[in-house]
Amino acid sequence: MFYVLFNCKMPAILVTGGAGYVGSHTVMAMLEKSDFEYEIVVVDNLSNAYRAKGEKKPVALLRIEEMTGKTIQFYEVDIRDKQGLSNVFGKHDVQCVIHFAALKAVGESVEKPLEYCQANITGTCTLFEVMRDHSVYNLIYSSSCTVYGEPEKLPLDENHPTGRGISSPYGRTKYFCEEIMKDLCASDPKWKIISLRYFNPVGAHPSGRIGEDPNGIPNNLMPFIAQVAVGRLPELKVFGTDYPTIDGTGVRDYIHVVDLADGHVKALQLFHRNGFSGFCPINLGTGTGYSVYQVISAFEKASNRPIPFVPSPRRAGDLAANWAEPAAASQLLAWNATRSLAQMCGDVWRWQSGNPNGYRE
């Protein structure tokens, strides 16, 4: 009302890739907060998000609007389109950018490294240019634990070296973007960049109305298991049963996507802290690792269905184990992951069983 009466723009948060999996949950987490005072502006090229025929917005965003009663500004724009991005910045009073937009399929990145450089590196640099042109210097970046490469020791903390032994072109795009962001911060102290290094995001919003909707056959464990449970896929291949882990299968730090989304909301507050500037990497993980067999068993309990699986050879590029040291997030953001593996599986099952074809009817 205030903004209408005085004919000024409401402060906005621009979310690139906000129609995707982590982005949509973060948009939901922001809008669910009753005292949230920003307009949400989503920019997405819909390369990995679904919009029904005749609709103006992707299904995930329409469902969020329905659940929260709030409006999301949506623009179908590619982050490599400098003019298109600049137009969006011109229309809104952007205070901060949360940058999710990227290509993320590890196997595909081996086949198409140039496309991954274009989307993830050139696109990110174009976004930074437009931010600078519009004097917007606050950024939250979606990074990944993949930047640590082969762990030298566990748990992984933010001081662990990055860039060595990263097993895919996708992973290297995340590392290169972090290096570019360090250079940007060194060039101008106005930049405030928080690079959130996600461990393994899984789960769905407890409403069962938004969740992960992978294109084609999933590469990652949890969506694959969910599709086996719902009968879309016959069985799971367990990649490697001879790792030096608790039961021979790979161990990962799975984090509920709603916890992850809350981490972004907490990170927004860091921009207001006196003296905060520069490049700040922060792990978002639980600090606990679970094996593939433990995840299968938790999912069977949550869904009350058997998950047929076959022990199979290791997948190229896979690590035996990794998990986070999450102390920095706790200290800097006052954030801790709170949701259990049982909740992650229960929420995936609610989403998958209620939406067997994802967002498509």
14 binds, among ligand UD1, ligand NAD, none (CB under 5 to 8 A by kind): none
Q: How far apart are CA 95 and CA 140, in angstroms?
A: 12
User: Which stretch in 8-16, 67-75, 311-319, 340-348 sits in contact with ligand UD1 by CB under 6 A?
Assistant: 311-319
Catalytic pick among 38, 116, 141, 170: 170
Instruction: State which of residues 90, 306, 308, 317 lies at the interface with ligand UD1 (CB under 6 A).
Output: 317
* Strand arrangement, sheet containing 192-198: 73-76, 39-44, 11-16, 93-99, 138-144, 192-198, 278-284
User: Which stretch in 44-52, 227-235, 238-246, 281-289 sits in contact with ligand UD1 by CB under 6 A?
Assistant: 238-246
Instruction: State which of residues 87, 315, 338, 340 lies at the interface with ligand UD1 (CB under 6 A).
Output: 315
Cis omega before residue 356 (within 30°)? no
Q: Does residue 123 touch ligand UD1 according to CB under 6 A?
A: no
Q: How far apart are CA 298 and CA 225, in angstroms?
A: 11
Q: Does residue 138 touch ligand UD1 according to CB under 6 A?
A: no
First and final C-alpha spacing in the chain: 37
Q: Does residue 144 touch ligand UD1 according to CB under 6 A?
A: yes
Q: Does residue 308 touch ligand UD1 according to CB under 6 A?
A: no
Name the closest residue to ligand UD1 (Cβ).
250
Instruction: State which of residues 13, 15, 106, 268 lies at the interface with ligand UD1 (CB under 6 A).
Output: 106
State the minimum distance, in angstroms, from the CB of residue 17 to ligand NAD. 3
Instruction: State which of residues 41, 103, 210, 238 lies at the interface with ligand UD1 (CB under 6 A).
Output: 238
3 among known catalytic residues: no
Q: Does residue 55 touch ligand UD1 according to CB under 6 A?
A: no
Instruction: State which of residues 24, 45, 142, 146 lies at the interface with ligand UD1 (CB under 6 A).
Output: 146
Q: Show the 3-state SS of the chain.
A: CHHHHCCCCCEEEEEECCCCHHHHHHHHHHHHCCCCCCEEEEEECCCCCCCCCCCCCCHHHHHHHHHHCCCCEEEECCCCCHHHHHHHHHHCEEEEEEECCCCCCHHHHHHCHHHHHHHHHHHHHHHHHHHHHCCCCEEEEEEEHHHHCCCCCCCECCCCCCCCCCCCHHHHHHHHHHHHHHHHHHHCCCCEEEEEEECEEECCCCCCCCCCCCCCCCCCHHHHHHHHHCCCCCCEEEECCCCCCCCCCCEECEEEHHHHHHHHHHHHHHCCCCCCCEEEEEEECCCCCEEHHHHHHHHHHHHCCCCCEEEECCCCCCCCECCECCHHHHHHHCCCCCCCHHHHHHHHHHHHHHCCCCCCC
User: Which C-beta is closer to ligand UD1: that of 91 or that of 237?
Assistant: 237
Name which of residues 45 to 84 contact ligand NAD (CB under 6 A): 45-49, 78-80
78 binds, among ligand UD1, ligand NAD, none (CB under 5 to 8 A by kind): ligand NAD
Instruction: State which of residues 12, 14, 15, 22 lies at the interface with ligand NAD (CB under 6 A).
Output: 22
47 binds, among ligand UD1, ligand NAD, none (CB under 5 to 8 A by kind): ligand NAD
Q: Does residue 50 touch ligand UD1 according to CB under 6 A?
A: no
Q: Which residues bind ligand NAD (CB under 6 A)?
A: 16-17, 19-23, 44-49, 78-80, 100-104, 119, 123, 142, 144, 198, 201
Q: Which residues bind ligand UD1 (CB under 6 A)?
A: 106, 144, 146, 168, 171, 200, 219-221, 224, 236-240, 250, 252, 292, 315, 317-318
What residues are labeled active site?
Answer: 170
